[in-house]
Structure 1
Amino acid sequence: MAKHDHEEAAPVRPLTRAWVGRHLGAGERIAGIEALRGGITAETRRLTIGARDGSTRTLVLRSFVTPYAVERADDWLGREAGALTQLAGTGVAAPELVAVDPTAAHCEYPSLLMTHLAGRSVLADAGVGTRVRLLARQLVAIHAVRPVERPREYVTLTSADSVVVPRGADAATWAAAIDVIRRPPPPYEGRFLHGDFQPGNVLFDMSPARPAAARITGVVDWATASWGPADLDVAHCSTNLALLHGPAWGSRFAEAYEEAGGVLAVDAGERLYWRVRDGLAASEEVRQVSRPWREAGRTDLTPRVVEERLARYVAAVMAGLG
């Protein structure tokens, strides 16, 4: 699961290390540790596991350490563990669950241990057209999963009062957008949702010299897996693409999703509701979202640039162009 850049100095805390050890095979031990950078809510480490015969395998350890994340870890890690279990054998490339300690009963902090997936997240503008088509097909496959046990219903936290209007945004447009989410959520046909499907959580095998030959190797970070409208996942990825690559790519993703066989709300007003809701949600966390992008090499994506793109994207959605 090479979602992040990595650093060498990354000790695992003693209780957590002992917990990991109890879930290894006979004769296996932690032979190497790397900190993976790029996430917002968790400390993530790649563990090289060595066996007596000299062979190695790789696991990923995620621990929630901030007060905000610890408070929600029982829910998030429960969702992630449940999703990974449900996805086994479905054809959707996701990590395999090894162990989970959602309440820190054994570890210093709530933690989850899973298998490692090859590949890396790709945030560069080069080759984005190819990746958008691949992302759309992958999301259609996720929404086609029919879990034995449904995950919990989706939750959206943004309200009309919590929206942060970007500097320089058209006040009338944003007031109208805020009015959209004052309405009750539209009815929908439920689907298995990733909950945070966006380029940072999708791994690619891609050579910089041949971006058109990219392929997806896996999807990670299932902590907000839920049951809800396909439009919600599509809206979230659309917003992220608009902020990463420009507002037009938000529009393009919804088109690519339908071209790949995905089904969105028939009513234009219902589509508008979900697209606007996710765009406005992004207004509350522009700085948090853009920081890992800059750490991953997109130094051009300053909070101001991302704010401006968000303002333009929401305007395009409200104008019927999104």
Structure 2
Amino acid sequence: MTAVETDGIIAAVSETLRRTVTLVRPLAGGQHATTLVVADSTTEYVVRVFPPLDDAVVHEPQILDWVAALGDRVPRLIATGEFGDCPFIVTSLVAGGPPSSDLPLQSIAGQMAAVLAQIHQLDSVGLRTLSWETPRGDSTIEVLGSKAWKQLDLADHVLTHYDFWCGNAMWKGDTLTGVVDWSGARSAPRGLDVSWCRLDLVLLGSVDAADHFLAEYERESGHSLPDIHAWDLVAAARSASRVESWAPNYRGIGYSDLTESTLRARMDDWTSLLCVS
């Protein structure tokens, strides 16, 4: 984003809030939206600017009301507005930042599992529902993922975050302080979030951490996931062909070692493991 565009966003946010805000810093980590931290004379806020016609600003305010029971661990809605054709949302700033690349993956896994169990306890009645489609493609993992999808029981829904990975968790030191980016949240089976986070932990470098996450989630939530292998196949099938494109996301949260080639190698190892299990 150019300096002129950033200045335009700051001006649009100031007009929406009816007070002057200034840029504190940009935030990296995702590709869906341009994210900035801004501040008025007393308070910092997060501004996320989405592409034209993106519906995130329509859905996220409803979700933030839904998850308000999680307290300071989730953002509060401040305002919505537009910069040209691009909608934006202004929220409170959740304390913390990305997890340190030095933080043990077992610790990340355990704390992510605990907060996900709490998220899945929230009411999901009335939310948008699952929109995943049957995985497509001719690779082995895509064929197996398509078969697995057709065998899953999709009836038992909870409130799912829908993009539950370490880059959407906030940390202070070794403690998870919050979960952000709720624009995709909807009513869906719990296996969707669980398998997505397991895949993230595998890409970070540890199948053992992914298994620890599953065990801790089942313990914290009181729900077992006997179909987790099928969900893992689906998650891998949906992302195997594009995993290299996630390198900027990981680089943006400080995992510069997760290059395109590293992500590809770890994904290939994971899909090989899934295909013989």
TM-score by length of 1: 0.77
Cα 1:125/1:256, change in 2 over 3 Å: farther
Match of 1:122 among 99, 117, 131: 99
Q: What are the Cα deviations for residues 205-224 of structure 1, in whole angstroms up to 9, with x where unaligned?
A: 10xxxxxxx22211001111
Q: Which has the higher helix share?
A: 2
1:139-185 deviation per Cα after TM superposition (whole angstroms, max 9, x unaligned): 000001125x5320021146222x7x5xxxxx5xx366245346254
- Whether 1:14 and 2:8 are equivalent positions in the alignment is yes
1:152 is matched with 128
Residue 196 of structure 1 aligns to a residue in which SS? Answer: coil
Q: Give the Cα–Cα distance (whole angstroms) in 2 for the partners of residues 251 and 199 of structure 1.
A: 16
Q: Which letter maps to 1:17?
A: A
Q: Distance in 1 between matches of 2:59 and 2:214?
A: 26
Distance 1:49 1:280, change over 3 A: same
For 1:35, what is the secondary structure of its paired residue? strand
User: Which range is displaced more, 12-21 or 36-45?
Assistant: 12-21
1:28-107 map, 5 Å: 28-50=19-41, 56-65=42-51, 70-71=52-53, 73-74=54-55, 76-91=56-71, 93-101=73-81, 104=82, 107=84
Q: Deviations over 1:244-303 (max 9, x none)?
A: 1233322222112112234144xx4x3322111111112132122122212433222121
The 3-state SS of whatever aligns with 2:130 is: coil
CA radius of gyration, larger in? 1
Match of 1:260, SS state, is helix
Picking from 175, 185, 191, the partner of 1:215 is 175
Structure 2 unaligned blocks of 5 or more: none
AA matched with 1:263: H
Q: Unpaired segments of 5 or more residues in structure 1?
A: 1-6, 51-55, 166-170, 207-213
Aligned to 2:215: 255
Structure 2 CA distance, aligned partners of 1:110 and 1:184?
38
Q: Which amino acid aligns with 2:135?
A: S
**Aligned-residue offset at 1:131:** 1.9
| Superposed counterparts of 1:192-207, under 5 Å | 192-206=159-173
- 1:19 positional shift: 4.5
1:195 maps to a residue whose letter is Y
Matched, 1:143 2:123: no
What is the identity percentage for the equivalent residue pairs of Structure 1 and Structure 2? 22
Q: Decide whether the 8 Å contact of 1:97 with 1:113 is kept in 2.
A: yes
Contact kept, 8 Å, 1:39 with 1:292, in 2: the verdict is: yes
User: Would you say how many aligned residue pairs link Structure 1 and Structure 2?
Assistant: 277
TM-score of the superposed pair, with normalisation by structure 2: 0.88
